[in-house]
Amino acid sequence: MANKKIPNIGVHHLALSAVDFDKSIKFYTEGLGFEIVAEWGEGAGRAALLDIGSGSHFEIFANGNSNEQQDVKFVHFAFATTNPDLAYENALAAGAASQMEPQSLEIPANPALPVRIAFVRGPDGEVLEFFKVL
């Protein structure tokens, strides 16, 4: 469905303030297969932009504070995938903690929305969802 107020709008990237920048970079690149397309800054001012693989991006900033997670208003980041089970297994292998094993369910929307989903916690405690509409 096209947005009638802002034509061609879409999500370019999500951003994370990482407590352990290097650990987060490793998790998202080696564990989930995202690719670094740009890096800048030094020390606590480091940042990187990663391509998720679909043209959307994920940005990671250094110098995060574990207390910041309490102030976050987003519930989770949801990544569309054709294989939530594989994404879940890759995330666990890269050090994520399971929040919900992959399962198929029907979201009681109008109309009903059958999905396959899984949830993990990333290295900074961020909640990631792997999502497929069935």
- What pLDDT is recorded for position 114? 95
- What pLDDT is recorded for position 120? 96
Segment 23-81, tens digit of pLDDT: 999 999 999 999 999 999 999 889 999 999 988 999 998 987 766 555 555 678 899 99
Segment 82-133, tens digit of pLDDT: 999 999 999 999 999 999 999 999 998 889 899 999 999 999 889 999 999 9
Query: What global pTM score does this model have?
Result: 0.84
3-state secondary structure the chain: CCCCCCCCCCCCEEEEECCCHHHHHHHHHHHCCCEEEEEECCHHHCEEEEECCCCCEEEEECCCCHHHHHHCCCCCEEEECCCHHHHHHHHHHCCCEEEEEEEEEEECCCCCEEEEEEEEECCCCCEEEEEEEC
- What pLDDT is recorded for position 66? 61
- What pLDDT is recorded for position 55? 85
